Structure formats: C-alpha cells, structure tokens
Amino acid sequence: MSGPTITDFTGRVVVVTGGAAGIGRALGEAFGRAGAVVVLADVERPALDATVEQLREQTGADISGVVCDVTDPASVDALADEVFARHGATHVLVNNAGVGPPSARVWETTPNDWRWTFGVNVFGVANGVRSFVPRMIASGEPGHVVNTSSSDGAVAPMPGASVYAASKAAVATLTECLGAQLAEGGHPITVSLFLPHGRGLLATGLWTADRNRPPELAREVPRQTPAMTIETLAEMARKAGRELALQPLDEVAEDVLRGIRAGEYCIMLGGREEAARTMRERVERFAAGRNPTEPGHALLPA
C-alpha cells in the first residue's frame, strides 16, 4: 500500500520515544496541538514528568508519559501493553530515542561505545517495531511509523562519527525494509525515515547523551576531549565573531506532521536536494571502484 494513510491527527493515538526533551518533546507538543492523544516515552522519569505536565498546560491535549528503556525488549513490550490497554490503539509510532558516543577513529572506539549506541539507536527502533507493529496490523486501522535516523549515515557518514553514523545507516536500512514489507503485505501502515535537519544546529539532548549512559556501558578508555555542547559551540562562535545558528525544533516537528500527512518516505526540513546530490556523487565514486566517503568529508548538520 502506498500514499498517506493519516491526514488528520484528531483523536489519533501517537507514541513518541525519547519524548522528554529535544525533538521528542517538540513532536509531543506538535501532535498535541494537532488534536492527537499523545504518549511520550523516555528513560528519564523526572524530565518526562516535567515535560508531560508542561505540554498538558500548553496544549490542553491528552498527553501522558511512560518510563521506558528502549534497549530492553520487555520494557518496550510493557509500553505497548500500557498504550493499548489505556487507548485501544496506536496510530502513529515515532521511534525517536537516540544517543551519540564520543567521536573517535574506528580503531580507537571501545566495545561499550558500540553496545550503548546500537542498543539505543538500532535495537531501540527494532524493539519499537517488534512491540507495536504487529498490534497495529491486527487492528486493521490506518497507521504510520516514523524512525528517526540522520543524514550522517542515511545519506553519507562523517568519518569522525563512525559509531553514530553506522547506527543511523542501520536505522535507514531497517526502515526501508519495513516500508517495503508493509507495502508487500497490503497493510494500511506507511513508513517514514526522519532525517532531522534545518537552517542551523539542532539543540537536542544528543549533545549531552552521556547523562543517560548506563555505568555498565561506560567507556573502557576515558575520552581524550571534553564533550562538545551547544553552549561550547556558541562560545567558540562568539569568539570568532559569529553567531551560532540554531534551528527551532518546533519547525522540525511540524515538518514531521506535514510529511506524515503527505505520505512522504523521507522527511527532511530543507536540504533534500543537497542530500540527493551527495548520494549521487557517492554512487559515482562507488561505480568507479572508489570509497564513496572521501577524506575530510563533512556533512550537513544533523
């Protein structure tokens, strides 16, 4: 099945993982303002509770929160159990939770960098699909799945962010397969690959993801440089006489709702033509027997 399945979010049940802050929070607000029943899931209970309370006041929508560790299949199953028991359906699933490890050369990464990043970014998406999609199919109702990836991986990897890029490339492939399989089965569930992007950097929780890194998955080798933050980048820009451009997250979230209504597979706020040009250049290098990623490659901010 192709084309949009949901164009009106009024009364629709929407689940967003990584919903306590950043893009997840912005998505919760956007869906709430559009009349949806919103369930935000996150591993951080204090932040989740605060966000739910704030968004309820701001939107007047039916917004609730469920603590969930997307790396744990049982935790995601429990999330699905609660959503379907309380609301009887899920119409839109947004697998949005994500983390980023320190940048490092591949041979200088640690096993726990891979375990932590793939646990959240890849297994988190897979667990969401496994727990929710069979129930969405069984309901027979129109549905939509959005998986958050990144142009760093889905379009072209930044070599310095090898672990993160590899995880987001995996999400892109998983999403492509999911969409093809649902279409082959004739199910009224469409799929989108969400590539957060905009006119500037995105001030999301990804910059401080270490706050949620489990102790048992701590880096085996201490990082050599302090974690880069938006505040650090802003200060560096000021010292250089420039102002750091930030992309408002509400605009990114609203574009996701627009993309779902339009039935778009790839949802990306601007930069689509540049991304397509990058991909064509990569194909040409591949066809010539060269590495598609050239040394020093830098990508659109994502």
Is residue 7 included in any domain, yes or no? no
Catalytic hit among 31, 164, 194, 207: 164
pLDDT band at 233 (very low <50, low <70, confident <90, very high): low
The 10 Å CB-count burial string (b at 16+, else e) for 228-264 is eeeeeebeeeeeeeeebebbebeebbbbbbebbeebb
Q: Which residue reads 């983390």 in tokens?
A: 99
> Could you give the number of structural domains in the chain?
1
**Would you state the structure tokens that stand for residue 270, as one six-digit string?**
């601007």
Query: Taking the CB of residue 81, how many other CB atoms lie within 10 A of it?
Result: 13
Is residue 293 included in any domain, yes or no? no
**Would you state the structure tokens that stand for residue 48, as one six-digit string?**
């989740």
Residue 299 near residue 152 (C-beta atoms within 8 A): yes
DSSP-assigned letters across all residues of 84-101: HHHHS--SEEEE-----P
Q: Could you read off the pLDDT of 184-223 as tens digits, one per residue?
A: 999 999 999 999 988 776 767 666 677 778 889 888 887 7
pLDDT at residue 299 in the model: 44
Is residue 46 included in any domain, yes or no? yes
pLDDT band at 71 (very low <50, low <70, confident <90, very high): very high
User: Is 265 a known active-site residue?
Assistant: no
Is residue 31 included in any domain, yes or no? yes
Is residue 300 included in any domain, yes or no? no
**CATH code of residue 83:** 3.40.50.720
Is residue 8 included in any domain, yes or no? no
What's the rounded mean pLDDT across residues 140-162? 95
Is residue 2 included in any domain, yes or no? no
**What is the pTM for the complete model shown?**
0.91
Range of the domain at 278: 13-287
Which SS3 state, helix, strand or coil, does residue 13 take? strand
Task: Name the residue type at position 270.
Answer: G
Is residue 5 included in any domain, yes or no? no
